């Protein structure tokens, strides 16, 4: 069976003017502009199955938003192929938009001065949503997002968290097969983020929506996505399950040690001299070590530390996904150097 989203050799180039310095240079640029090509997305390939929730991540300028704009039909690629449910996004835009929902972070699709319910009714007519489907969707949104309490408020009077909940509901009102999310939790507090994440999990399970999520908040990725695609400088550097991403870099573990007496990092290096453990350069009572589970067990490291030092507390945890992603970026940079 063919994947829902099929992307092959997707490339997008921008032609930019190379500006000369000064006022005189500005006049010359008007008459004889110089150009340079910038490749924002470079031969990207991936397939996404129906019902998957995929994290598409990268640093600023990595090519995430450009890819999403091509997948939603906003941009036409320089070259490459995209098929989404048998449709080409930029060629079949009118038909295609009936099958997708999009939420772009801080940009609302609701009418600013209208009550929320009026925006929903307008969207129902635009998408030609049957009355029974509209009623069912509104009940789901009230049950999962609690939108009923502010349906009659103007959008401009909503808090950021309330507006994001309404934007998610608006994007899903017509029961799209695919939902594109670009920074859906940006600027939200902890409670609002958890509300959004919980809703996305529920709506995927209830309606089988396929979700592509771009975000700088890797907490979103860890809580929502089993699969992650990492893009840097327009190229895909990792595509696989989140657990495989950890395994790829050896499942690094961090041990935080609180001692009763101050020591140096060199003292602790002597304690674990026969183990593959790296201690951070610190002095005092608080120290941090890193090691890989494949090379040594946490129990063995802890045993040696406890036997040789007066320990008041210990904390063992895997290295954050943010650091693993940074390692992927660094490795990609070395490969290009």
**HSE toward the beta carbon, residue 32, CA cutoff 13 A:** 4
Taking the alpha carbons at both ends of the chain, their separation in whole angstroms is 40
Which helix (H) or strand (E) segment holds residue 190: the answer is: helix 190-207
Q: How confident is the model at residue 20 (pLDDT cuts 50, 70, 90)?
A: confident
| Per-residue pLDDT tens over the stretch 39-51 | 999 999 999 999 9
Residue whose C-alpha is closest to residue 189's, from 164, 172, 171, 170: 164
Distance CA 26, CA 28 (A): 5
Give strand pairing partners of 190: none
Between CA 168 and CA 141 the distance in angstroms is 9
Helix (H/G/I), strand (E/B), else coil: 316: strand
In angstroms, the CA 124 to CA 290 distance is 54
Alpha-carbon gap, residue 41 to 82, rounded angstroms:
13
Structural tokens at position 121: 């009714």
Domains of the chain: 50-246 (3.40.50.300), 250-336 (3.30.70.250)
Res 166: pLDDT: 92
Residues contacting 287, CB < 8 A, separation 6+: 256, 257, 259, 263, 265, 268, 279, 280
User: Angle of helix 160-172 relative to helix 116-127, nearest 10 degrees?
Assistant: 20
Classify burial at 42, counting beta carbons within 10 Å of its beta carbon; exposed 0-12, middle 13-18, buried 19 or more: middle
What are the beta bridge partners of residue 210? 178
Q: What is the pLDDT of residues 166-176, one digit of tens each?
A: 999 999 999 99
Sheet holding 5-17, edge to edge: 35-48, 5-17, 79-84
**Residue written as token pair 């048998």:** 86
Tallying the residues shown for the chain, one arrives at 337
Convert the pLDDT of each residue in 236-264 to its tens digit.
988 988 877 767 665 678 899 999 989 89
Q: Which of 6-10, 33-37, 198-202, 268-272 has the lowest mean pLDDT?
A: 33-37
Rounded mean pLDDT, 92-116 = 88
For the chain, what is the mean pLDDT?
Answer: 87
Task: Kindly indicate the confidence band of residue 135, based on its pLDDT and cuts at 50, 70 and 90.
Answer: very high
Residue 129 corresponds to which tokens in the numbers above?
A: 């949503």
SS3 annotation, 222-281: HHHCCEEEEEECCEEEEEEEHHHHHHHCCCEEEEEEEEEEEEEHHHHHHHCCCCCCEECC
Nearest to 106 by CA among 191, 181, 212, 200: 181
Q: Is the distance from CB of 79 to CB of 250 less than 8 angstroms?
A: no
Beta-bridged to residue 82, according to DSSP, are 7
Percent of the chain with pLDDT over 90: 47
Residue 90, Cβ neighbours under 10 Å: how many?
A: 16
Strands 283-292 and 252-264: antiparallel
Burial class (CB in 10 A: 0-12, 13-18, 19+), 223: middle
pLDDT-derived band at 333 (thresholds 50, 70, 90) equals: low
pTM for the complete prediction?
0.77
Residue 332: the pLDDT is 58
């Amino acid at each position: 069976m063919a994947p829902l989203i099929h992307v092959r050799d997707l490339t997008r180039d921008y032609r930019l003017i190379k500006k000369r310095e000064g006022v005189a240079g500005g006049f010359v640029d008007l008459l004889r502009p110089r150009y340079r090509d910038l490749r924002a997305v470079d031969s990207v390939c991936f397939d996404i199955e129906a019902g998957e929730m995929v994290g598409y991540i990268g640093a600023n300028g990595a090519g995430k938003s450009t890819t999403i704009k091509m997948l939603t039909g906003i941009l036409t690629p320089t070259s490459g192929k995209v098929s989404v449910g048998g449709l080409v996004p930029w060629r079949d835009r009118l038909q295609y938009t009936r099958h997708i929902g999009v939420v772009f972070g801080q940009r609302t699709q609701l009418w600013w001065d209208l009550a929320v319910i009026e925006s929903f009714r307008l969207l129902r007519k635009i998408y030609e949503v049957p009355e029974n489907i509209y009623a069912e969707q509104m009940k789901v949104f009230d049950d999962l997002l609690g939108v009923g309490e502010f349906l009659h408020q103007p959008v401009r009077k909503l808090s950021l968290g309330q507006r994001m909940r309404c934007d998610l509901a608006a994007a899903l009102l017509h029961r799209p097969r695919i939902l594109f999310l670009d920074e859906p939790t940006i600027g939200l507090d902890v409670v609002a983020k958890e509300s959004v994440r919980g809703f996305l999990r529920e709506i995927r399970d209830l309606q089988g929506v396929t979700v592509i999520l771009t975000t700088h908040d890797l907490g979103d990725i860890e809580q929502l996505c089993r699969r992650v695609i990492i893009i840097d400088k327009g190229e895909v550097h990792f595509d696989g399950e989140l657990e495989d991403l950890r395994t790829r870099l050896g499942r690094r573990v961090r041990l935080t040690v609180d001692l009763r007496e101050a020591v140096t990092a060199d003292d602790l290096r002597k304690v674990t001299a026969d183990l593959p453990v790296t201690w951070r350069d610190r002095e005092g009572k608080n120290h941090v070590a890193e090691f890989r589970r494949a090379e040594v067990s946490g129990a063995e490291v802890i045993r040696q530390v406890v036997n040789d030092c007066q320990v008041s507390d210990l904390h063992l945890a895997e290295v954050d996904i943010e650091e693993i992603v940074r390692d992927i970026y660094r490795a990609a940079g070395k490969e290009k150097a």
